[in-house]
């Protein structure tokens, strides 16, 4: 029997697994064999984790990354029942419900409420889980991809760019309303800047239309390799992280590690993880954003020493200690 059955859907959610195995844990990342403990690292997999754990009577950890206000609002969850290990949502009658994806977040809450432990990556997410789910999570910080974003990323940032006078703004995140890409387009119009966006999502057409209307040169890309993303960070003048909400906020970390000045919205998760690396701006204040970009473009490389606690190895150490306490 494995120590841990690890449920993740992408490479990022498996980053720390090799180190956990080197520390001595036996971890299965696929299959249906029972384990001593399961770990749910992806919200989409919460029902599958519930079925696995119900079937094998396995305790589990629920890692709740974030609860976006645009999804949750001020509503309450719908009741959820387990029928033969499968989850059924009963729409709430009366009172406000979650704003969108009601069944999705109601099922996530149900699964988390039955977990041996609930973990979050940030104090900001822990506050939201406590408030909306009525649970008491433990903050267990995850990591950035320190195998990809190493010291050489800043060392290799070009310093002899022939077009150094051009202002190139970069934003890396999903193209959805809470990521607030429109603010970057508006700022670029005032600054005569070009904008590079890496991501995909439902706001794609709206962002392109805004850029065209304001005369902002815009390039939107997705499906890039890790090396291509690093290169994009290295060649940007300023990386802008304009999100209205984050559970962790990787973009600012990755940009700073590439030696590129960072501008970030003044939200709790950015303050918690980015510290004094960015120039902060006030949400919904375009003057504040423009001023922050102008300061950043003439600043030196951001400080990065405090990211040492967010490497793959340090995160694996935190997870190992917490997991061993549950085994």
Chain region(s) in the chain for CATH 3.40.50.2000: 151-304
Distance CA 176, CA 205 (A): 11
Residue 163: pLDDT over 90: no
pLDDT value, residue 161? 59
Minimum mean pLDDT range among 68-72, 160-164, 240-244: 160-164
- Output the average pLDDT for the chain: 95
What topology does CATH give the domain 2-143+311-326? Answer: Rossmann fold (3.40.50)
Per-residue pLDDT tens for 177-197? Answer: 999 999 999 999 999 999 999
Q: What is the mean pLDDT of residues 227-256?
A: 95
pLDDT digits (tens, 9 = 90+) for 246-268: 988 899 999 999 999 999 999 99
Phi-psi category of 84—alpha, beta or left, where left has phi over 0 and alpha has psi -120 to 50?
A: left
pLDDT-based confidence at residue 92 (cuts at 50, 70, 90): confident
What tens digit of pLDDT does each residue of 96-146 get?
Answer: 999 999 999 999 999 999 999 999 999 999 999 999 999 999 999 999 999
Task: Give the mean model confidence (pLDDT) for residues 26-47.
Answer: 97
If one counts every other C-beta atom within 10 angstroms of the C-beta of residue 113, the result is 14
For residue 73, count other CB atoms closer than 10 A to its CB: 14
pLDDT confidence band for 94 (50 / 70 / 90): confident
pTM: 0.93
Q: How far apart are CA 240 and CA 159, in angstroms?
A: 20
Domain at 151-304, CATH class: alpha beta
The H or E element spanning position 194 is strand 194-198
For residue 113 the two structure tokens come to 């409420």
Return the pLDDT at 95.
83
User: What pLDDT score does 247 carry?
Assistant: 87
- The residues that bridge with 37 in the sheet, in sequence order, are 4
* H-helix or E-strand spanning residue 62: strand 60-63
Judged against a pLDDT cut of 60, whether residue 64 lies above it is answered with yes
């Amino acid at each position: 029997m494995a120590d841990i059955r690890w449920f993740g859907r992408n490479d990022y959610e498996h980053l720390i697994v090799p180190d956990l195995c080197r520390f001595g844990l036996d971890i299965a990342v696929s299959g249906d064999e029972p384990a001593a403990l399961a770990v749910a690292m992806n919200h989409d997999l919460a029902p599958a984790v519930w079925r696995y754990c119900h079937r094998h009577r396995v305790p589990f950890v629920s890692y709740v990354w974030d609860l976006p206000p645009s999804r949750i609002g001020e509503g309450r969850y719908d009741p959820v029942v387990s029928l033969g290990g499968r989850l059924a949502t009963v729409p709430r009658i009366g009172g406000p419900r979650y704003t969108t994806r009601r069944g999705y977040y109601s099922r996530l809450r149900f699964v988390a409420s039955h977990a041996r432990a609930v973990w979050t990556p940030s104090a900001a997410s822990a506050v939201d889980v406590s408030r909306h789910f009525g649970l008491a999570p433990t903050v267990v910080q995850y990591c950035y991809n320190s195998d990809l974003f190493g010291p050489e990323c800043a060392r290799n940032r070009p310093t002899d760019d022939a077009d150094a006078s051009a202002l190139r703004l970069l934003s890396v995140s999903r193209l959805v309303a809470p990521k607030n890409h429109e603010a970057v387009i508006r700022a670029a119009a005032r600054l005569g800047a070009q904008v590079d966006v890496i991501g995909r999502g439902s706001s794609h057409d709206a962002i392109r239309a805004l850029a065209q209307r304001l005369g902002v040169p815009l390039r939107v890309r997705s499906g890039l390799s890790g090396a291509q993303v690093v290169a994009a960070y290295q060649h940007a003048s300023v990386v802008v992280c304009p999100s209205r909400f984050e559970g962790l906020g990787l973009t600012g970390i990755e940009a700073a590690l590439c030696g590129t000045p960072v501008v970030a919205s003044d939200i709790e998760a950015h303050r918690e993880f980015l510290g004094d690396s960015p120039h902060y701006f006030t949400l919904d204040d375009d003057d504040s954003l423009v001023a922050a970009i102008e300061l950043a473009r003439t600043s030196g490389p951001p400080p990065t020493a405090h990211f040492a606690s967010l490497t793959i190895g340090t995160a694996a150490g935190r997870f190992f200690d917490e997991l061993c306490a549950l085994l």
